Structure 1
Amino acid sequence: MIQFRNEHMTVFQSALFQTTSTVIQTKDMVLIVDPNWLPGEIERIVNYVNEIKGDRPLYLLFTHGDFDHIIGYKAFPGAITIGSKGLSEHPQKERKLSLIRNFDAEHYIQRGYPVQFPDLDVMVSEDAQQLKVGETALTFYLAPGHTEDGLFTVVEPMGVLIAGDYLSDFELPFIYHSAQAYKQTLHTAQQIMERHSVVLLVPGHGQTATNREEMQRRLDLASRHLEKLIQAVMAKDENAIAALGREHAFPSSFTEECHRENVRIIEKEFAG
């Protein structure tokens, strides 16, 4: 489905995990972000891009290397690929591909393109690194914490912040890499909103934010939850830890496992 649309941007949303795929068009380029999940959903994005592309170059941005965010990579042959240095050097590429293959096999899914881990044409290795295409500027910020290879991207002059798996309207922090890095990335997000004229925020899961008050609410929500969980883990307050686990939307075995992983990583980093 199309979740959000304006003159320059269309945000597609998968039926699975409310995962977003964003297409931004300027007079200089067409940018696709994290095309996913199901073949029919990706085919719709492909058809839309073919309709609007014209003679403009096509860029394909990956916010991080989780398998749901790279699953549509080869549906766009010839696209100029962008991602972080951490994505390029991902230590578990084959495991990510096996997750895609297992998902497809379990659901009898056939894809009309090969399943591969992205090869990058543009590799981001530092904060504020830019890619300029005509009058369009992409400014990148490293965003580790959820994963080690996360990336924020600001698209100007449209004022769009592509946040990956941060700043969802409903999804609380899922930490697969580092709680300390996650805290720093939330600080980076605050700095981005202070430095750039961000008017639209697209998370990897959930709704597009169209005003700064909502963006700040999401940032504060994630920061408060993470800080409370760190304090509860350090105090070994099992009741508080359990209560924070119940704050996750769509409670399931998946969110329970993610909460346990959050606690495990915080114990390792903050409680010795």
Structure 2
Amino acid sequence: MIVWRDEHTTLFRSALYETVSTVIATKDCVIVVDPCWLPHEVEEIRQYSDSIKGERPLYLLFTHSDYDHIIGYQAFPEAKVIASQAFADKSGEKKEDIIEQIKAFDDEYYVTRSYEIVYPEVDIPIEGDGKSFSVGGTTLTFFQAPGHNADGLFTIIEPLGILVAGDYFSDLEFPYIYVSSHEYEKSISKLDTILEKYSIRMLVTGHGNPTREYAEIKKRQQDSFDYIRAMRKLIQEKDVEGISLLIEGCKFPRNMKKFHYNNQLLFEKEFIEMGLPIGGVNKGQE
């Protein structure tokens, strides 16, 4: 599973959706980010973190609550959990829905796990932007990142200069927007502040490849802006072919077309809710 390793950072990539789980080791602690997917993959991450941890405390950092990112939670029962306050405050019904998604996945593929499937209990909930949490000389600084879903979190790990971005800034995926395109734009705009205030030496995303190049980080941000703005324009123009061509050349088209279409429906809903015209008429009045 290991696709990247240096003195402090090890990246594990699942066979499913190129999902990335991260283990970061400093002199003060070990941080495991979004351990997933399959049982043997979670176990590999678990064994690796055990092998390097020593006497250091273990933390689980969840970038957001999508079921694929929390699926390995109970394999690390001694870890302290860090996530956004919105992640912690999710209603009981929504938590149950997420757990049901995990159980449905496991049932569909006859997957058996060695641990109970439960929604994570958050020990260190994070509110606001620029808030920090330190363990010795290791500091984690957080920025809220809603838009993809409602409870995303960007995390900067210093002094290593690592930005953990969850399901943003992927080189594999266009924006998958489940909640709000406007919130999504606000979240990816925060990258400018982060790059100005912090020395970012590595960007780690939830799917696809990391990058250590400043120009590539900025390109991924701009690609996301371009997708959102083009989608709005094409919906206004009712340009069905143009919308389809927005993801031309994507790596996994049969699956990604579904996410792209769901984005289109969300954008159209936003237009209707704002009373904005689509193709010269109000979509809701056609």
Distance of 2:130 and 2:177 partners within structure 1: 24
1:172 corresponds in structure 2 to: 174
Does the 8 Å CA contact 1:34/1:72 hold for their aligned counterparts?
A: yes
Q: Which portions of structure 1, spanning 4 or more consecutive aligned residues, are displaced by more than 4 angstroms?
A: none
- Measured after TM superposition, the shift of residue 108 of structure 1 is 1.1
- More displaced, 190-199 or 143-152? 190-199
SS at match of 1:153: strand
Deviations 1:88-140 (A, max 9, x none): 12241111111111111111111111111011000011111110111100000
> Quick one: which amino acid aligns to residue 28 of structure 2?
D
RMSD across aligned C-alpha pairs, in angstroms?
A: 1.1
Q: Greater RCO between the two (CA within 8 Å, min separation 6)?
A: 1
CA deviation string 1:172-224 (max 9, x = no partner):
00100100001111101222122210010100001111111111111111111
**How big is the shift at 1:233?**
1.3
SS in 1 for 2:246: helix
- Note the C-alpha offset of 1:14: 0.3
Percent sequence identity over aligned pairs: 44
Q: Structure 2: 5+ residue runs without aligned partners? A: 276-286
- 1:123–1:112 Cα change, 3 Å: same
**Deviation, structure 1 residue 85:** 1.3
The one-letter amino acid of 1:113's match is Y
* Residue of structure 2 equivalent to 1:231: 233
Q: Distance in 1 between matches of 2:233 and 2:148?
A: 19
Contact 1:151 1:163 in 2 (8 A): yes
Counterpart for residue 19 of structure 2: 19
SS in 2 for 1:191: helix
TM-score, with length taken from structure 2: 0.92
- CA distance in 1: counterparts of 2:196 and 2:176, whole angstroms: 25
1:139-218 to 2 correspondences below 5 Å = 139-218=141-220
Query: Deviation at 1:245?
Result: 4.1
Alpha-carbon shift at residue 35 of structure 1 (Å): 0.1
What code does the residue aligned with 1:241 have? I
SS of residue matched to 1:4 = strand
Structure 2 residue aligned with 1:29: 29
**Aligned partners of 1:227 and 1:248: how far apart in 2?**
18
User: Who is 1:256 aligned against?
Assistant: 257
In structure 1, runs of 5+ residues without a counterpart are: none
| Letter in structure 2 aligned against 1:50 | D
Count residues in correspondence: 271
SS at match of 2:190: helix
Report SS of the residue matched to 1:233.
helix
Structure 1 partner of 2:43: 43
- Cα distance in structure 2, aligned partners of 1:24 and 1:187: 26
For 1:45-84, what per-residue CA distance to the aligned partner results, in whole angstroms no more than 9, with x for missing partners? 1111111101111000000000000000000011010101
**1:87 partnered with 2:72:** no
AA at the equivalent of 2:14:
S
Contact 1:32-1:60 within 8 A present in 2 as well: yes
Work out whether residues 180 and 269 of structure 1, in 8 Å CA contact, stay in contact via their aligned partners in 2: no
Matches of 2:218 and 2:163, distance apart in 1: 13
Amino acid at match of 1:176: Y
* Deviation of 1:249 (Å): 2.9
Q: 1:51 is aligned with what amino acid?
A: S
* Deviations 1:14-34 (CA, angstroms, capped at 9, x unpaired): 000000000000111100000
C-alpha deviation, 1:247, in angstroms: 5.0
For 1:248 and 1:100, the matched residues in 2 are separated by 27
Q: TM-score normalized by structure 1?
A: 0.97
